[in-house]
């Protein structure tokens, strides 16, 4: 009987030594990072993207060797998408689209301002030649306005729909393309 008790104690101690805790990491659609030690606590929509976090032994100090100076790098700092591109690449793409969108918006606002100024101008009795020039100017401005509206819609779609979809497919973090 004593032998069975001793053997069962050894088995319990041995199994406790072998057991390791796993931690899981996932990023939600808003770019927020989460960690848990239970796989069941990962929301269903993120089960496929949740990854096991392995401890970095180089960051552990046991008294003999000091921690490396500076900011410790985590696995999140080193994350690259499927194509080997990191946060800097995605931020540059998003910033470029935002700048292009701002330029288009400025041009569009200028045309709206010109239209408003034309409406506020007093109507002059002018010769046919003068009114023809005004009509040509309005028609030209209307064409520019229509073209800018299309460009604005295209760039907005590219920034708000296409780029996030490309980032998702490349396994890039969503926060990388946000302001």
| Single pTM value for the model | 0.52
Domain count, the chain: 2
Of 7, 33, 54, which closes a domain? 54
114 inside domain: yes
Domain co-membership, 43 together with 119: no
104 inside domain: yes
Give residue 18's pLDDT: 46
Domain co-membership, 108 together with 163: yes
pLDDT digits (tens, 9 = 90+) for 26-49: 888 888 888 888 888 888 888 888
pLDDT digits (tens, 9 = 90+) for 110-162: 999 988 888 887 766 444 455 677 788 888 889 999 999 999 999 999 999 99
125 inside domain: yes
Instruction: List Cα–Cα distances, 54 to 19, 24, 74, 121, in angstroms.
Output: 14, 9, 10, 71
Domain containing 31 equals 20-54
Of 54, 72, 99, which closes a domain? 54
């Amino acid at each position: 009987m004593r032998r069975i008790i001793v053997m069962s104690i050894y088995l319990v101690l041995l199994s406790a030594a072998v057991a390791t805790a796993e931690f899981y990491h996932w990023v939600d659609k808003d770019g927020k990072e989460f960690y848990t030690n239970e796989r069941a606590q990962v929301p269903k929509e993120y089960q496929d993207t949740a990854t096991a976090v392995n401890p970095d032994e180089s960051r552990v100090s046991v008294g003999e060797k000091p921690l490396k100076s500076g900011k410790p790098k985590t696995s999140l700092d080193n994350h690259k998408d499927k194509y080997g591109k990191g946060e800097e690449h995605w931020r540059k793409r998003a910033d470029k689209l935002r700048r292009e969108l701002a330029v288009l918006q400025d041009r569009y606002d200028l045309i709206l301002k010109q239209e408003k100024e034309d409406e506020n101008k007093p109507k002059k009795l002018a010769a046919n030649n003068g009114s023809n020039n005004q009509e040509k100017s309005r028609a030209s401005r209307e064409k520019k306005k229509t073209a800018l509206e299309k460009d604005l819609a295209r760039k907005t779609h590219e920034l708000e729909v296409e780029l996030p979809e490309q980032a998702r497919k490349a396994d890039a973090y969503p926060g990388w393309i946000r302001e």
